[in-house]
Chains A and B, each alone.
Chain A
């Protein structure tokens, strides 16, 4: 009997508890946002291809589309929710120890779409890419110029939701004013592929001095050591990564164009086929001159098949911040970030032909290819004359 009463009493107590109104919900505190930045060693922002012939050139005029389009998504663990929100608009600000300065790049701007950030050149002065003759291949890709940004600052806002999910918002880029190689602007070094792959050192000793001179710039002596303790200069691994931005650094690379399809299977190049004249083949023979205008046209299919993983520096005031505590835990590699480059949406493509190809034939005696066609690099918004 006593056991029965104890059972009934406990059941009533349980029923009373179950039917009682739940306590009023207390909203969790909003996740705290922490802003901060890191200092990557470099970002590739373009590859400009040398046309065939010493008297030839490609002229990229003002407001050209050339630039990069990359995402940092793969830098973070799968548990992190990455997104992009440019905090300073389309300008690329100068930063000193993370603090904003009045300087804004006069030559580049940034924009975002999905998780990608485009950095595109807005220079009003034309960029002229001079041609070189290769007696065997016509085009000498060792003379291609890879544009490497040496003082980027990557801006982020991090937060941790109540469920523990970490959110990373990429706020775009600034440039580190501590680098005064280019006063108060982005320090973009143009490195010939031949300096990166050792071709000049092995075959053109007269150009080796040029490569050594460039090396003093990408030594980045003004920058702090990286998080992993390595020095600030670009290493051999960095240079190899940078060289890979130019697909022709792989000697066996062939941008195959299938009949009836204008974009290469890897999505990297699109054959020019618009009526501005670039669809015509280029006869590369003595005395002949070819000129045409080029308009960047984004391909219908996007791709992302070039990436660069590198270490980065973190300034002391950042290391000791709440930002870093969250950011560090979000990284896939504790002292590395990965830039994945993809198809450039072409922010400036509505302005008509803004790149001019001037292809002057070789001297008599040339025995290389006599026919070329123009390919648009969908990643950098530049043009190569193939083969």
Chain B
């Protein structure tokens, strides 16, 4: 029940008596107040008055169950703060939303007048418990591993190397919701089963707060993961053999608060989990490495039937996600052509003609995506000539340029135990598209700023007769924490 008094009458009277120069607006929201209890809140604003108003002229101090303590004067200056404190008492005989406003007028030494207005709002009742729920996006991209030049070369991410992503789903929601995240520092990733978190924890990945809206999922590699190269006689490097790491059983958890009618009032991203019903990697994240050439049609176009067989069987059968639920939009759980196209774009070299441009004197590409190594161990170019065989190690450089230029939008499913609950109803109301979630990926300081991490490269020269580039530069991918080889 909203109640208002004709408080404007008083202000109108003031206007008739004195010229008003300005008015400032205070908005004090008491939120939920339990019946029979009172609460006080204050709000401070910089009114930026050109002159001081040392005299309180007039103003009512109470309205219904609201009361206000007017300041005795208003200061001058852009940084001077004026504080208004108000109280609200939730009478037990009332319930629901309450609101109203009051004004006060002030007079300067030269008889000039100004006013300040205070709008109040409160809900009499017990605040609803926030809903913690989860949805199951079809996939999350967690990394791109770039193929080195040469069929006999390899790149290794050894013990204590971490790679991963840094992402947010904020843009999934309407502008009314900022979808901040509540993770604090580093946290584990827990398995979810039937819409509930379990105590089963990933041993290979962790999550970490990156900003107010983004969370980084990183793998602390304690094994050694290597990728052999494949020779491209023209370009040296063949990016169709790059591996894109796609997480196939992610769970995105959210905390929702709602008003009395069930409409969402806030959406908070509470971090990731993983779906334990996926049997592919029991009790842990199911992350599949997909060669870029399997997605963009390269192997088919070049008549590489052997690779095409592997792509259409071994690779495709896994991202079919046959263990997963149908999505809320009615589509099947497997990755479709649109999903695969989105995934391919995680590798910027999927875009024909992409050039990681390094302005003269800058170590970061113009798009912020890559960073040239500038420490003594790796600043030299890599020789790639017949007969050469060298081993390099590569540390990470601190990322200073923050960008987020890669997004994926995908369908999602939700555990059947959650579909009938209030979480689900409120969550869809907050979404821009009730059947889609969008992930925006950006620079990950979590994967590039950990000291002591190194990647190793063994670069074996091409066979005689090779006519492609003979020197490569190592570029750090600021999104995934991996390294690419590029010939300028």
Q: How far apart are the CA atoms of A279 and B283 in the complex, in Å?
A: 9
- A288 and B223 contact, CB distance less than 8 A: no
Which B residues are CB-close (under 8 A) to A291? Answer: 223-226
Q: What is the CB-to-nearest-CB distance from B184 to chain A, in angstroms, rounded to a whole number?
A: 22
Number of interface residues of B (CB under 8 A): 50
CB of A367 within 8 A of CB of B191, answer no
Most chain B beta carbons < 10 A, residue from A276, A290, A363, A364: A364
CB of B161, distance to nearest CB on chain A (Å) = 11
Question: Smallest CB-CB separation from B282: which chain A residue?
Answer: A257
Chain A: minimal CB distance from B159 (Å): 8
B268-297: which residues lie under 8 A (CB-CB) from chain A? 276-277, 279-284, 286-289, 291
CA distance A275 to B281 in the complex (A): 15
B286:A257 contact, CB within 8 angstroms: no
Given contacts A281-B287, A367-B313, A370-B318, contact A289 B225 (CB under 8 A): yes
Question: Which residue of the partner chain, among B147, B280, B284, contacts A280 with CB atoms under 8 Å?
Answer: B284
Residues in B whose Cβ lies below 8 Å from that of A364: 304, 306-307, 309-310
Contact of A281 among B229, B241, B281, B317 (CB under 8 A): B281
Chain A contacts for B147, CB-based, 8 A: 287
Complex CA gap A284/B280 in Å reads 13
Q: A271 an interface residue at 8 Å Cβ cutoff?
A: yes
Q: Is B315 an interface residue (CB 8 A)?
A: yes
Within the complex, the shortest CB–CB distance from A260 to chain B, in Å, comes to: 4
Q: Is the CB of A279 within 8 A of B204?
A: yes
B173 vs chain A, min Cβ distance (A): 30
* B306 contacts A292, C-beta separation under 8 Å: no
Q: Which of B174-210 contact A (CB under 8 A)?
A: 191, 193, 198-200, 202-204
Residues in chain B near residue A283, CB distance under 8 A? 243, 288-289
In the complex, what residue of chain A is closest to B285 when comparing beta carbons?
Answer: A281
From known contacts A292-B223, A365-B310, A366-B310, infer whether A260 and B193 are also in contact, taking CB-CB under 8 Å: yes
- Chain B residue numbers with a CB within 8 Å of A261 are 283
Q: Given A292-B224, A371-B318, A373-B282, A286 and B193 touching (CB < 8 A)?
A: no
Whole-angstrom distance between the alpha carbons of A274 and B283 in the complex?
A: 12
Q: Is B212 an interface residue when CB atoms closer than 8 A count as contact?
A: no
Question: CB within 8 A of B284: which of A279, A287, A290, A368?
Answer: A279
Tell me the count of chain A residues lying within 8 A, CB to CB, of chain B. Answer: 37
Q: Which residues of B contact A369 (CB under 8 A)?
A: 314
Per a CB cutoff under 8 Å, which of A279, A285, A287, A371 touches B286? A371
Q: Which of B202, B222, B315 is A285 in contact with, Cβ under 8 Å?
A: B315
List B212-266 residues whose CB lies under 8 Å from chain A. 219-230, 241, 243
B154 contacts partner chain A, Cβ-Cβ < 8 Å: yes
Report how far A284 CA is from B219 CA in the complex, Å. 19
A261 to B291, CA, bound (A): 32
Residue of A with least CB distance to B229: A287
Chain A's nearest CB lies how many Å from the CB of B255?
23
Residues from chain A with Cβ under 8 Å of B203 in the complex:
273-275, 279-280
Q: Chain A residues with Cβ under 8 A from B241's Cβ?
A: 287
* With contact pairs A365-B310, A369-B314, A370-B315 given, residues A288 and B222 touching in the complex (Cβ less than 8 Å): no
A289 touches B276 (CB 8 A): no
A279 to B221, CA, bound (A): 10
Residues of B within 8 Å of A285, CB to CB, are 243, 289, 291, 310, 314-315
Of B225, B282, B286, the most chain A CB neighbours within 10 A belong to: B282
C-alpha spacing A285/B230, complex, angstroms: 14
Q: Is A278 at the interface (CB under 8 A from chain B)? A: yes
B151 nearest CB across to chain A (Å): 9
List chain B residues, Cβ under 8 A from A278: 223
A291 to B287, CA, bound (A): 16
- List residues of chain B with CB within 8 A of the CB of A281: 280-281, 284, 286-287
Residue of B with least CB distance to A255? B282
Identify which of A262, A271, A273 gathers the most chain B CB atoms within 10 Å of its CB. Answer: A273
Task: Report how far A276 CA is from B221 CA in the complex, Å.
Answer: 9
- Contact status B200-A260, CB under 8 Å: yes
Once the chains are docked, how many angstroms separate the CA of A50 from the CA of B279? 22
Residues in B with CB closer than 8 Å to A373 are: 281-282
Interface residue ranges of A345-386 to B (CB < 8 Å): 362-371, 373
Give bound CA distance, A260 to B310, whole Å.
31
Enumerate chain B residues within 8 angstroms of A371, measured Cβ to Cβ.
280-281, 286, 288, 318
Cβ contact within 8 Å between A259 and B226: no
Among B204, B227, B277, the residue within 8 A (CB) of A289 is B227
- In the bound complex, CA of A254 to CA of B280 (Å): 13
Q: Do the beta carbons of B306 and A363 come within 8 Å of each other?
A: yes
For A276, A277, A293, A366, which residue has the most chain B Cβ atoms within 10 angstroms? A277
Picked from B229, B283, B314, the residue with its CB within 8 Å of the CB of A370 is: B314
B466 to chain A, nearest CB (A): 19
Least CB distance from A350 to B in Å reads 19
| Contact, CB under 8 Å: A277 / B154 | no
Q: Which residues of B contact A257 (CB under 8 A)?
A: 279, 282-283
Q: Are B228 and A289 in contact (CB under 8 A)?
A: yes
With CB as the reference atom, state the residue of chain B lying closest to A277. B223
| B229 vs chain A, min Cβ distance (A) | 8
Query: From A369, which residue of chain B is reached at the shortest CB distance?
Result: B314
Closest chain A residue, CB of each to CB of B202: A279
Within the complex, what minimum Cβ distance (angstroms) separates A76 from chain B? 40
Within 8 A of B (CB), among A114-167: none
**A273-B203, A273-B283, A289-B226 in contact; A259/B309 too (CB < 8 A)?**
no
Contact with B288, one of A362, A366, A370 (Cβ below 8 angstroms): A370
Q: Are A365 and B225 in touch, CB under 8 angstroms? A: no
CA distance A368 to B317 in the complex (A): 9
Task: Give the residues in chain A near B287, CB-CB below 8 Å.
Answer: 281
Q: Give the shortest distance, in Å, between B460 (CB) and chain A (any CB).
A: 14
Q: Which residues of A contact B289 (CB under 8 A)?
A: 283, 285, 288
Min CB distance, B141 to chain A, in Å? 15
User: Which of B204, B279, B309 is close to A367, meaning CB atoms less than 8 Å apart?
Assistant: B309
Q: Closest residue of chain A to B151, judged by CB?
A: A287
CB distance from B130 to the nearest CB of A (A): 26
Contact B307 A260 (CB under 8 A): no
The residue on A at minimum CB distance from B289 is A283
A107 to chain B, nearest CB (A): 29
Q: In the assembled complex, which residues on chain B have CB atoms less than 8 Å from the CB atom of A262?
A: 282-283
Q: What are 30 A-B contacts defined by CB distance under 8 Å?
A: A257-B279, A260-B198, A260-B199, A260-B276, A262-B282, A271-B283, A277-B221, A278-B223, A279-B204, A279-B284, A280-B203, A280-B221, A281-B281, A283-B288, A284-B314, A285-B315, A288-B243, A290-B225, A291-B223, A291-B226, A362-B310, A365-B305, A365-B307, A365-B310, A366-B309, A367-B309, A368-B314, A370-B318, A371-B288, A373-B282
- Beyond contacts A277-B221, A289-B228, A291-B224: 4 other A-B pairs, Cβ-Cβ < 8 A, are A271-B282, A275-B220, A287-B227, A365-B310
| Among all A-B residue pairs, the 8 with the closest Cβ atoms | A277-B223, A292-B223, A365-B306, A367-B313, A259-B276, A279-B203, A364-B306, A289-B226
